Amino acid sequence: MAISRAQLAKELEPGLNALFGMEYDRYEGQHAEIYTTESSDRAFEEEVMLSGFGAAPTKAEGSNISYDDANEAYTARYNHETLALAFSITEEAIEDNLYDRLGSRYTKALARSMAHSKQVKAAAVLNNAFTAGASAGGDGVALCASNHPLTNGGTLDNVSAADLNETSLEDALINIAGFVDERGLKVALRGVKMIIPRQLQFVAQRILNTELRVGTSDNDINAVKSMGMLPGGYAVNDFLTDPDAFFVLTDAPRGFIHFERTPLSTNMEADFDTGNMRFKARERYSFGFSDPRCVFGSPGV
């Protein structure tokens, strides 16, 4: 349905001083704190987790050497979604007003809507991180879970239930350092950045940036800061919905990926039959993760 003069009555009146409501700043680009962006030229992308070899056994003198098999563990799939939004303005509304008072203003609103949806899509991976089925990765388990299946028969645990404080953050970093690969071999990963909702920004600031420990009268140093842990500090994501959930990102090489299939594009054209001017914005992308070792999360308590 086109925007008509009846919907814009006040804008057509003489003596109008100002229009407001679409000039707010917006939260934009927060997904870049989490995801590595890559381009795609396919309908979907797949990434395969490979299972290497187990620990090398001791070979007795004169005995045969042991052979091991390498297999594919699972496949992570990224299905690109198309997001699009449009509006149109009647020919009469354009005739009775200046183009830049309508078209330019509402195209900015269109861009704002597209940017908002992108951040919601990006944050959804973390918002659903603890929900079985909602954010299942290639291994069929939620992003943050205690039962990621390994090909050696064991499991990987990248979740805890604790509010953000000095102890829970230290426990998360300790657990990350203990991650193993698909065959149970230790992998050298570390926490690099914390992603938090806006409700925890003051807690994170005190934990990460004070010289001494928080909440104690002891003159102990802040171990997280003095040891150079979490070199990326923390980033607030305003689209996280759980006020006490927090996530520690690791330096796993294939973690959170944002595939850009078609960049944001805009178009405008006149409709021959109605004379209405139509405006459209469209893009295609996907957000997801390949290796659950890319994060350690807690939903809080």
Q: Could you say which DSSP state residue 89 is in?
A: E
All structural domains of the chain with their residue ranges: 35-48+85-133+191-291
Asked if 61 contacts 149 with a C-beta cutoff of 8 angstroms, the reply is: no
pLDDT tens column, 219-232: 789 899 999 999 99
Report pLDDT digits (tens) over 33-66.
Answer: 999 999 999 999 999 999 989 999 999 999 999 9
Question: What CA–CA distance (Å, rounded) separates 251 from 255?
Answer: 8
Nearest CA-CA partner of 198 in 249, 130, 232, 244: 244
Q: What is the pTM of this model?
A: 0.86
Residues contacting 156, CB < 8 A, separation 6+: 148, 150, 179, 180, 292, 293
Q: Identify the pLDDT of residue 103.
A: 66
Question: Of 78, 49, 75, 31, whose CA–CA distance to 261 is shortest?
Answer: 78
The SS3 of residue 198 is helix
Burial class (CB in 10 A: 0-12, 13-18, 19+), 55: exposed
